[in-house]
Amino acid sequence: MLSAYGTAAAAALGPRDTVYCLAPAYHPSGLLVAMGGAIAAGSRFAMTDGFAADAFWDEVRRYGVTVGVYTWTMLRQLIDAAPNSAEVAHPIRLFVGSGMPPALWRNVLRRFAPAKVVEFYTAADAEVVLVNLGDQKIGSLGRPLPGSAKAIVTAWDTERSRPELDAAGLARKCRPDEVGMLLVAVDPLDPSTGQVPALRALFEPDDAWVVTGDLVRRDHDGDFWLIGDAPALIRTPRGARSPKAIADALESLDGIELAVAYAGEWRGEPAAVAAAVLTDDANVDSLAKEIAALRFDDRPDIVHIVDDIPMTDWFRLETTGLPTAEGGTPERRLIILPHNEIPPGSASVTVTSNSTV
């Protein structure tokens, strides 16, 4: 219910709005955000049996859509589509959903202005909802909605999957912009708390916290930023990296339309691998140098140039079927950081590009 009322409040939904659900009804964005928000606000509700970019604007005009609800990379189809005359002076004021990559977010704001994006974050096992209401911090998770459970960022030992403790033996809260684990407070006396694994007495004798599994940082303004899923970290000899951070960094470069990162093995050692879909005008040699110049946390070791990246029915990118680090076609592979040739901490990076794309 928090997500439904939160959507209604954050999006300022009212009886004059028509909420159009592009996401599958079984997805949280469809069930809680779209349907729940519309019901809570008394708005009209419309849905489709399958999102199709070529039919989208006709349906927007037909139903008088003012709010479109998306998931993940869904709106990329609208960005890739040729301009439609129905886009001119369109009635959509908000796109609401979760998981939109920052690069796509910028493109949506640019192409469909004055429409804005409202991005939500929810945790599966806790009553917390974060929302980004503005366009000043694209990519941020935003801040907790009123009525949401307390959320904090605590220093986290990713090797042992447990909090780091201070001198008093209590969990240490992260400083601003320090990466840590997102924890959400739960009622230690609530019988349902026992149904979800919770850490107790972290900061006080009678507290209880659910571990979301998400590594985040909180900036000086109080906004949360997602770093990535802790179990999905790519661990290499030079340190751990987040697949999300790598993908976001790649998509921020001119010439890369879509990217995903995953763990692999190169010359017998763990490596950070990425697959990228390039734009038609991409210059591969220049792009390779730009990738090599990324800071370590954002830089993959190997990049495969692919024609497309698989995704789920709700438009979340998948890595199934993508080339392994040493797989794929050599002519479509960029070796950004060869193992055993660049010592840890080195500022120099060797780039090998045999791509003919």
Residue spans of the domains in the chain: they are 1-122, 151-229, 234-351
Check residue 108 and give its pLDDT: 97
pLDDT at 214 over 80: yes
What would the pLDDT profile of 164-207 be if each residue is shown by its tens digit?
Answer: 999 999 999 999 999 999 999 998 877 665 567 889 999 999 99
Q: β-strands 94-98, 116-122: how paired? A: parallel
Name the residue among 230, 243, 237 with its Cα closest to residue 161. 230
| The CATH classification of domain 1-122, taken from the options 3.40.50.980, 3.90.650.10, 3.40.50.11540, 3.30.479.10 | 3.40.50.980
Burial class (CB in 10 A: 0-12, 13-18, 19+), 123: buried
pLDDT at 347 over 60: no
pLDDT at 350 over 70: no
> How distant, in Å, are the alpha carbons of 8, 9, 33 from that of 2?
10, 10, 10
What would the pLDDT profile of 315-331 be if each residue is shown by its tens digit?
Answer: 999 999 999 999 999 99
- Where is average pLDDT lowest: 1-10, 232-241, 268-277? 1-10
193: tokens are 């708390």
Element holding 330 (H helix, E strand): none
Q: Which residues contact 287 (CB under 8 A, 6 or more apart)?
A: 253, 255, 256, 278, 334
What would the pLDDT profile of 19-59 be if each residue is shown by its tens digit?
Answer: 999 988 777 777 778 899 999 999 999 998 889 999 999 99
Write down the CATH number for the domain with range 151-229: 2.30.38
What would the pLDDT profile of 276-308 be if each residue is shown by its tens digit?
Answer: 999 999 999 999 999 999 999 999 999 999 999
> Residue 99 and residue 180: Cα distance in Å, rounded?
20
Check residue 326 and give its pLDDT: 95
pLDDT at 343 over 70: no
184: tokens are 């959400």
Check residue 193 and give its pLDDT: 59
- Where is average pLDDT lowest: 94-103, 116-125, 193-202? 193-202
- Where is average pLDDT lowest: 24-33, 68-77, 122-131? 24-33
Check residue 322 and give its pLDDT: 98
The number of helix segments (H) and strand segments (E) in the chain equals 8, 21
- Where is average pLDDT lowest: 97-106, 116-125, 215-224, 331-340? 331-340
Which residues on adjacent β-strands are paired with residue 154? Answer: 173, 181
Name the residue among 340, 256, 236 with its Cα closest to residue 304. 256
331 touches 356 (CB < 8 A): yes
332: tokens are 């479509």
pLDDT: which is higher, 248 or 237: 248
Check residue 138 and give its pLDDT: 97
CATH 3.30.300.30 fits 234-351, yes or no: yes
